[in-house]
Amino acid sequence: MKTVQYREALREAMNEEMRKDKSVFLLGEEVAEYNGAYKVSQGMLDEFGPERVIDTPIAELGFAGIAVGAAMNGLRPIVEFMTWNFAILAADQIINSAAKMLQMSGGQINVPIVFRGGNGTAGQLGATHSQSFEAMYAHVPGLKVLTPSNPYDAKGLLKAAIRDNDPVLLMESEKMYGDKGEIPEGEYIVPIGVADVKRKGDDVTIVSFGKIIKEAYKAADELAKEGISCEVIDLRSIRPLDWDTIMKSVKKTNRLVVLEESWPFASVSSEIAYYVQRYGFDYLDAPVMRVTQADTPFAFSPTLIDEALPNPKRVIDAVKAVLYVN
């Protein structure tokens, strides 16, 4: 095992796949000469050259469309958005072209493409640069949506995404690029659609994904001091979603709290809450609780940011609510 940063794990995944398959290439804003806005693609231009590591204009719709066309014609593009907030401009190509082409072509045309970039809040960036898009894109049939929370999952999931024959969206985070973690020395794959039980427990299940899962770990540590045992599940894959792992845990703990960074309405937590009450109602000893971002555009003020985002206290309160403690 070796210790790497999140950005280095992503880079390793792209380097390994590009060395193995000449149809894989990277394009996006500042990915080449500048080594990537967050230095994810550092050194890749030197190794693979300007034909496979391509700087684009600030025109998300345009270069996303170029990449979708390339994928339809047998290449495997990796599209880097500086942030998923900017990818809204490319939503037409992602939702109306990439996601639908296999169905519209009667199964004749695959679109093996990866869209990736920073997602969610990253400090005082204001309302237009602080959004989480997992639920929005997971709503669309034909798209796969992944949110790795650590370097190990980041590398393994990105490699799986590049090899996949369908459009895959990788939601990263500006705040995670410097996070360090252990990964194997050799090659490995993390399968798409498989959640990971990060911590085993018996009293309550906490389901989360992305960087906000760190708040679940902090809450679980505090609750353990009070004798409350939390099982923490990292979804890793939002669509397809690993229902079996969630249900297996809920059947054991009989209680569920879902933690996510995004807004509450029509969210990932909403879908999970529905599924568990529909197919696991008899196993629940309490209503499903969720902890989300406040239902309002994200603020610039640090005080309002603290009020808006989930934190360990809110998770602890939700856990105690489903346990009927206090």
CB–CB of 289/322 below 8 Å? yes
Tokens 């000469």 belong to residue: 33
Marked catalytic residue, from 129, 134, 215, 231: 129
Separation of alpha carbons 115 and 187, rounded Å: 22
Q: Is 51 annotated in the active site? A: no
Q: Roughly what angle, to the nearest 10 degrees, separates helices 213-225 and 312-322?
A: 60
Closest Cα partner for 102 from 112, 88, 114?
A: 112
- What separation in angstroms does the CA of 228 have from each of 142, 184, 201, 253, 313? 40, 33, 9, 11, 14
**Candidates 12, 17, 29, 60; catalytic one:** 60
Q: Which has the closest alpha carbon to 118: 106, 107, 131?
A: 131
Alpha helices in the chain (DSSP H): 6-20, 44-48, 60-72, 91, 101-104, 134-138, 151-163, 213-225, 243-253, 268-279, 302-308, 312-322
60 belongs to the catalytic site: yes
**Residues that are catalytic:** 60, 129
